[in-house]
Each structure stands twice: as structure tokens, then as C-alpha cells.
Structure 1
Amino acid sequence: MALHVVVGKGPVGTATAELLAARGHRVRVLSRGGGTSTGAVEHRRVDAADAAALTAAARGAAALYNAVNPAYHRWATDWPPVAAALLTTAERTGAVLVTMSNLYVYGAPTGPMRPDSPLTATDLKGRVRIAMWTDALAAHEAGRVRVTEARAADFVGPQVPAAHSHLVRQLPTLRRGRTAWVIGDPDVPRSWAYLPDVAATLAALGTDERALGRAWHVPSAPPRSQRQALTDLAAALSSPAHPVPPARVRGVPWPVLRAVGLVSPMVRELVDVRHQFEGEYVVDASATTATLGLTATAWDEVVAATAGAVPATA
């Protein structure tokens, strides 16, 4: 089978590498810290901003997956050199460049977001993501590279660390019966991307020529507000031996977040994308299903798997 090179060993990179390996592909993961190679996945220590090192490690690859995850408050400084190095590597090696992206490019949506929705973001992080895709698409249209991009809603799943998910970070709170304080309006509909569905989408994009030259949305279950999602998770956490009360969910007031943002870069960046938490934030992935045949994991399965990873003593 072909060699597939995954850059980044966070939750997305790890899940994608494991899925590709399970399908019989040769898989190599590149990351700044390296890792322990196994019979299924090879790890190498490579700086994602070093085009020469990336190229040397990706020679012969059929596809190159961008699963890099810079610190949230460092996107403006860390993403441009990494994106440029990956684009250069794709051009030098001939590998398809598959980028893991998000919904920031759309700015404040006025309805369900589709891959062909206008890229109207005005916040800094959204503009960074728009520039990355615009540069990659221009290189693709010029015939220099072959690119495609996956865009996903907020992550959920047992494989997702608490720091990477608005839902997963609340599981210990729900287990203890305490109030879950969330960002924004707890009752607006939102899409959630189950990590195995994210990996399945990336793997499809890297192995199907129909995916080239455009962006695709990761299929997601029907929208659930933060209150609904956390209520579902609390119910799934509960058992006769360890009963969990119904979820209590409240939104953190924005003035409080702005005050915290004065000393916390992470929170300051969240305030900058307030629009993502105040109105409907829903994905339309029908094109992915119609063309690539991918569908979302049922929400009940997502909830059961996510809750099942939480120890009863958490």
C-alpha cells in the first residue's frame, strides 16, 4: 500500500494515522517531539516549519496530512511558516496535501455553513485560515500541487483531550453534579464533530481524487445546543451505582471573560470569536455524504462512547 505521512501527533493526527494503518497503508507520523514507532506507524522527529526536513521525510508519500495544532493564541505567528513549509513539501514530493481546518473562515454565519459559503471572517484567526486555504488553492489551480481541505465543527469523543473540546472538559463537572459553565449562549444549536468521523474524512480526502481542489465538511450528527449535549452526556454518565444528577448549564458572562482575557491569552482569543458562541453554528456536510459516501456517527453512539471513557471516580 501507499505511504501516507501525517504531520502532527495530536488527537487528529493520531486518529488519522491509526485509521490509515488499519486500512493497510504505510504510515509515518512527523512531529517536533517524535514518538515511539510500532509495526503499524513509524514516528520521526521533524519540525513542521522546516520545509527541507519535511520534504526529506515525505519522499515517496502519496498524501501529506496537515494535522498540526499551534497554540490557540499563536496562530498568527506559528501558522504561516508551517503552512508554507507544507505547501513547499507537497510541491517537491508530489504528495496530495490534505489540510485539517475548521469553520473560522466563514466568520459569523447567517445559516448552515457549506464548503462553498463565502469566506467572510474578519477576526485574526479566521483571516489566517483564509490565507492558508487561498494560498493552497492558488497553487493547486496553477498546477503546482494537489490540495484538499477538511473543515470540522468542535470536537467531541473519548479520544479528545479536555483542552480540545468544549464538551469533554465538562465531563468531570457533570460527574460531580456541579454547574457546567460554558462559553456563550448555552441554547443555540451547534454541530459537533466526532473525532473518528474527522479521521475518516481526512483518510477519504487523501485517497480519492474527487476530493481535490476544494474543501469538504466533516459529517456531523444533527445539531445539539451545549445544554442539550451536556444533558445527554450527564444522562449517559449516570448509573445505579454512580448516579449523576441532570446537567446544570450556564453561560459565563462576556464581561467576565473579557476581564479574564486581560491575563489569559487563550480566553482573550475566545472573546475575539464571540460570534461562534452567540448564534446558530451549524455545518452542512451533505456534499461530503453525496460525493464521498461518508456519514456521521449517530449522536447516541457519540454520547455513549464519550461518556464511557470517564472513570466513575472522576
Structure 2
Amino acid sequence: DEYAKAFDEMIEKTETDHAPWHLIDACDKDEAYYKILECCVETIEAKMKENLQHDGIRADQMKMPLLIMPLLQDVDLSLTIDDETYKEELKKAQKKLRVLSNELYLKKIPLILCYEGWDAAGKGGNIKRLAACFDPRGYNVNPTSAPNAYEASHHYLWRFWRHLPKSGHIAVFDRTWYGRVMVERIEGFCNEQQWRRAYNEINEFEQDLSRWGAVILKFWLQIDKDEQLKRFEERQNTPEKQWKITDEDWRNREKWDQYEPAVNEMLRLTSTTFAPWMIIESNSKEYARLKTIHLVIEAIENRLNQKG
């Protein structure tokens, strides 16, 4: 009787147009097999007649608690910090973050840190200063490159699900699922219906992680075109840094004016109260690193101070 009640409640609360339940009388097994096959055939035939590029719910149609984000061109990139103050403040902030990350572990709260930004914006150095605070047994840094053939045959979020942290652990993503609405959009690796639909898919994905209990922070590292050119040329002219620069970096730079409005739209439609975007002014690498650590500290403290 208890199971029957639970089953009825499950069916009632998960019955949807896109994934309906089919109740099958299983007293006669042969009849049940027939009904199941009949349902499969009818559903597949109906789906084949639909528009396979159905847009679904777009970001501008969904009801998500979105934050107001500034445009990239309005970000003040003159912010900086002197070297002595940076070293002193970084040491203190890292010590505090080390203690807080241990508290997350003890309370079984997962932390997810997402990095996006322009090429040469300083993601690697930023992550390095954060990772120095964490117990090596309790975190992973996940560098994201183009999906291989096997990964591309799945839903684009699939490969990220596999690298989410377990309770109390930390996952850092060096580039993320937001490639769907940036590089895949600009380079034509998905069609317009797919990348428009992705805004809502990503928000729901992150909302699920938040409801699970994860703290989610997303960082966009912002530099200007002159600073990027300066860093590109430094990498190209320094033998030990040449591995950091590729022809693809130069090609992406040529598409700056295409990427910027795409990034602005991404920030506007996916910065939620449960997974906010933080724009990090990164013309000064030292300022960017310190600001990022302070934001992580603030987010962890807020979560630890929550009741329940």
C-alpha cells in the first residue's frame, strides 16, 4: 500500500507532455508486450512527423531569477593593484580560503568554479592561485577542449556531468558548457535553434546543481583588444611561452566583434541568483587573481552562514 501510494504520487507529479506515462495492464504478459511496442511505434512515428529542429523554450521565454549584467564595453579595465599590496593580500586571502574549503568538505557542500574569458585573459594563472588553497585530494581542474567524436555523439552537457564534484569536493572548469553559445554558435558547430535553446538548458542544469546543494560561481575574465595583442606578441616572442599561442588564437582574435555581442547576450540570459556571472577586470592579472579569490571567499561564507 505504501509503494502504491508512492507510485501514484510519482506518476502524478512527473506526467508531462514531452515525457508522458503510459499505464500498461500487465496481468497478461503477452498483451502487455504488445501494448508497450504499440506505444513505442506510435510515439516514434509522431516524433518523426514533428519539426526535428523544434526550438523549445528560449531564454527570453523562461522564468528564471536573472541578474542585471553590465556590457563588456562598459567594464572599467584600469583597475590595478601594486605589487607589494598584492603579495600581502594574496597570502592572507589564500590562507582564509584554505580554511573555508575545509569547512565545505566537513559540511559536504560541493563547489563548482567556472572560467570563461578571452584568449590570454589569464585563466590559467588565476586558477593556479585558487588551486593552491585546496587540498589536492579534494579538487579537480577540468580543461575543456573541442569534443571528440564520441563526446559529440551525446548531448553537449553529457561530458560535463561526468566531471562534477562529489559532495564536499571542488571542481574547476577551465572553459565550460558555455561553449555552446559562444564558439559553437560563432563557428557554426550547431544551428541557431540549438544554441538559442541552450540558454534555458544551461540555466536548468545549473539550477539542478544548486538545488542539489552546490555553490556555483562563473567568472568571465575581461581584457581589451590592445592588452590581448600585447600578451599574444609576448607569448610568440618568448620561447618558453610559445606553446601558449596557436594559429587558432589569432583566428579567434579576428572574430572579436562577433564574439563580444554573443558574450553580452550570454551574460544577460544566464546570470542567475543561484549561478551568477562575475566579470573580472583582467588587464591587471594581479588585480584579477585577488578579486576572484575574494569573490569565492564571499560566496562560501554566505553559504556557510545560511540556516538549514
What is the TM-score when the length of structure 2 is the normalising length?
0.30
Structure with greater strand share of residues: 1
Report the structure number with the largest CA radius of gyration.
2
What is the TM-score when the length of structure 1 is the normalising length?
0.29
